[in-house]
């Protein structure tokens, strides 16, 4: 995972290699970590296993790692393991949308009537899994549907989806704002 050849040599608008920036970020997060296993591997001086490394990365770094990775077979297997049985681009866009939703939540941003700048693609499997879940285009509810779908596939049950649904059903005005994006233009 720290081999530059594992990532595409895509350049940013400023001309820098995105993989170089990614590798610097990954190294930075691993060096900053105070996790017991990271201290162990630093002391030992050997390579850090990927399972230990990814625990130190913020979600956006992990998302970038996936979006730039060159091993399509490994990516397909990973995405299939969470129920994303679509092309690599769409799967990567779903993960990117989850990073965006997570960042909004972690920074206490307004979700009510928010237009999702990075909306999750809606796959047929997602729509089928929760066919009665209402959402508008670019609404927070569309991203919640994707999140409920991913959690269902990871956990193997609908407990998380039921919590989300109960929360939304408790207030008609709130659920209306979550299902409908307000377009300011």
- What per-residue string of b and e applies to 67-87 under the rule 16 or more CB within 10 Å gives b? bbbeeeeebbeebeebbbebe
Dist CA 115 CA 54 (whole Å)? 30
Percent residues over pLDDT 90 in the chain = 84
Residues contacting residue 93 through CB under 8 Å, at least 6 positions apart: 120, 121
Question: What is the SS3 assignment for 69?
Answer: strand
**pLDDT over 90 at 94, yes or no:** yes
What do you get for the CA distance between the two ends of the chain, in Å?
Answer: 43
> Between the CA of residue 17 and those of 65, 92, 116, 130, 158, what are the distances in Å?
13, 19, 28, 40, 41
What is the average pLDDT score of the chain?
Answer: 93
The pLDDT assigned to 86 comes to 85
Give per-residue pLDDT as tens, 107-164: 999 999 999 999 999 999 999 999 999 999 999 999 999 999 999 999 999 999 999 9
**C-alpha 47, offset from chain centre:** 26
């Amino acid at each position: 995972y720290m081999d530059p050849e594992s990532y595409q040599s895509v350049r940013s608008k400023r001309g820098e290699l995105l993989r170089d920036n990614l590798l610097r970020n990954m190294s930075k997060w691993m060096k900053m970590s105070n996790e017991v296993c990271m201290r162990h591997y630093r002391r030992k001086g050997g390579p850090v296993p990927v399972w230990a490394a990814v625990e130190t990365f913020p979600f956006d770094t992990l998302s970038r790692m996936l979006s730039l990775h060159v091993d399509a077979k490994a990516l397909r297997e990973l995405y299939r393991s969470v129920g994303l049985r679509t092309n690599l681009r769409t799967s990567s866009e779903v993960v990117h949308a989850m990073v965006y939703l997570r960042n909004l939540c972690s920074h206490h941003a307004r979700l009510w009537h928010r237009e999702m700048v990075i909306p999750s693609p809606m796959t047929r499997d997602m729509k089928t899994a929760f066919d009665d879940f209402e959402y508008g285009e670019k609404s927070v509810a569309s991203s919640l549907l994707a999140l409920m779908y991913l959690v269902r596939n990871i956990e193997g049950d609908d407990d998380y989806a039921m919590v989300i649904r109960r929360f939304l059903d408790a207030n008609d005005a709130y659920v209306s704002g979550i299902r409908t994006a307000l377009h300011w233009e």
